A and B are shown apart, each in its own frame.
Chain A
Amino acid sequence: METQNKTLIQFSDVTLGYGSHAVLSDISFELFENDFVGLVGPNGSGKTTLLRAILGHLKPQKGRIERRNNDTEIRFGYVPQREHLENIFPFTAFEVVLMGTYNRVGLFKRPGKSEHDLAKQCLEHVGILDLKDKLFNNLSGGQKQRTLIARALATQPNILVLDEPTNGMDLISQKSILDLITQLHTKDKLTILMVSHLLTEVSNYVRKIILVEADHFQVGSLEDILTTANLSKMYDMPVFVDRIKGNNVVIVGEKNG
């Protein structure tokens, strides 16, 4: 019999927004330990707003957000979109990863030997220890993403949150990064929350989906969400879910076709 994992974060009738404007209304869902969740929706649908609330950067206008891990503190390993970084700073890959240790170093202090060792271990874990002295700005998209994942791992997280991790990458790099994320989930037992606007891509890796679309909010297992009937009803047009060579493919048909 399958046992239910512990709840890490619970949203109860939460409304999120800025000022008096609500972006997402009355949403409820739970994130469990060892989940592998895709947060999917088009740009401007409220993904970032929801992500900010999950990370604790945005307080709800209404409802309750509870963090329920009683044993240990919830620690997020956050991988932001690469475009959001000030890429002109001349940091090496190692210096970027070292930033992940700053929360345990504390104010007034500089990272010591144990933090340096941890940063190197994280770089090795994502397979780019040989790039540690290279300038972050000079790395390829895939290498930068691995550096940022290593930095997130250096925070020693129990939830890894990745914002559009494959944006702007070629197919090979995309697969390589998604395989690495899957490995972190299966081997290292990390809870993963991956934000993306690409339903097809995400559906081939995650176990659960949070679908955010104008006026619609759905949370469920991949099997429940990713069906032709459900997606067609949600988008109010024919959306077909099929499998090609073992991979999910989502195809949008003509509305009056």
Chain B
Amino acid sequence: MAELIDIFEIEFMQHALYTGLLVGIMCSFLGVYIVLRRIVFVGASLAQISSTGFAIGIIFEMNPVVSAMALTMIGVVWFAFNLNSKKIPQDSTLALGYIIASASAILILSKHPKGDADLLGLLFGNILTITSDQIYILLAALIILGSIHLIFYKEFLFVSFDPEMSETLGFRPQIWNVLFYVTVGMLISLAIKSAGILLVFGLLVIPPIAAILITEKISRVFAWSVLIAVISIPSGLYLSFTQDIPSAPTIIALMTLWLGISFTFNKLRHAVA
């Protein structure tokens, strides 16, 4: 325990911990909607679109967070209005976004002197080189996105579960959907620079699935999902530091362990019932 505390007294590890927790809390919370609405590929596609925005920022020497957010918002609007097309299936629309964005990021960075390193940075992130400013930006994002989702908790759940009935009661599902995708897009474009595509996507998917297997009450699904992320991140960072292994895959491996435990628990519960 003393060793654990010692490690997190090192400044860059402190920064990594704060960043990991902020990204983890937001991704694991919004991930519940992403998994339950069956739009997991939205997370993957937006993450990839965001990375293309970063690549554009690097090449044109702009602020990459701004270019990533701008391109992600374009992706958000495109998805919000095209996912229910009668001609193109939803998963094909998402795959289209993913493929085009991935290829674009590689092409854009291919002629850049540090292209390979930049691409690896986008994929795995660099949680150990976070600055204080980046942490404050993530904290502000947590406050804004968290407030939106706590205030409109019932609205987001209602339009996700039954858009037709919500429309009959005067809610505007299309508007709520756009707001939902905007919050997801904002989160991904902010989180990806520090945590990388792999960890962000992992946090959006693995804790919510594990939580759904643990509990059968919607409010507890959110709580368990966040808890799994919050436990896995410091443990993963500690293991990564002490064993000298990459942090993002280590955190994902620990969350997968949680998934295994949840799966076993769910099987046992149904066997007993």
Contacts and interface: CB of A to CB of B under 8 A. Distances in A.
Given A85-B161, A99-B158, A55 B168 contact: yes
B74 to A, nearest CB: 25
Interface in A35-86: 55, 57, 76, 78, 80, 84-86
B152 to A, nearest CB: 8
Interface stretch (B104-112, B131-139, B211-219, B251-259): B211-219
Contacts of A78: 164-165, 168
A177 to B, nearest CB: 18
A176 B34 CA distance: 37
B162 A85 contact: yes
A49 to B, nearest CB: 14
Given A90-B217, A90-B218, A135-B216, A84 B164 contact: yes
A208 to B, nearest CB: 22
A102 B168 contact: no
A103 B167 CA distance: 10
B93 interface: no
B216 to A, nearest CB: 5
Nearest to B163: A84
A90 B160 contact: no
Contacts of A57: 167-168
Contact of B161 (A55, A91, A92): A91
For the complex, would chain B's binding face be called helix, strand, loop or mixed by DSSP majority?
helix
Contacts of A155: 169
Task: Say which size band chain A's interface belongs to.
Answer: 20 to 34
B58 to A, nearest CB: 39
A88 interface: yes
Contacts of B37: 86
Contacts of B151: 108
A95 interface: yes
A90 B216 contact: yes
Contact of B162 (A55, A76, A84, A135): A84
B161 A86 contact: yes
A216 B17 CA distance: 67
Contact of B154 (A86, A96, A102): A102
A151 interface: yes
Contact of A89 (B155, B165, B168, B218): B218
B170 interface: yes
Contacts of A55: 167-168
A249 B167 CA distance: 36
A194 to B, nearest CB: 16
Interface string A108-122: 101100000000000
B38 A88 contact: yes
A80 B226 CA distance: 33
A244 interface: no
B99 interface: no
Nearest to B168: A78
Contacts of A172: none
Nearest to A86: B161
B236 to A, nearest CB: 27
Closest 10 CB pairs of A and B: A103-B169, A78-B168, A80-B164, A89-B161, A90-B216, A86-B161, A90-B218, A85-B162, A76-B168, A89-B36
Given A89-B157, A90-B218, 7 more contacts: A55-B168, A84-B162, A86-B161, A90-B212, A99-B166, A102-B155, A155-B169
20 contacts: A78-B164, A85-B162, A86-B37, A86-B161, A88-B38, A89-B36, A89-B160, A90-B217, A90-B218, A91-B218, A99-B161, A99-B162, A100-B169, A102-B154, A102-B158, A102-B171, A103-B169, A105-B154, A107-B155, A110-B153
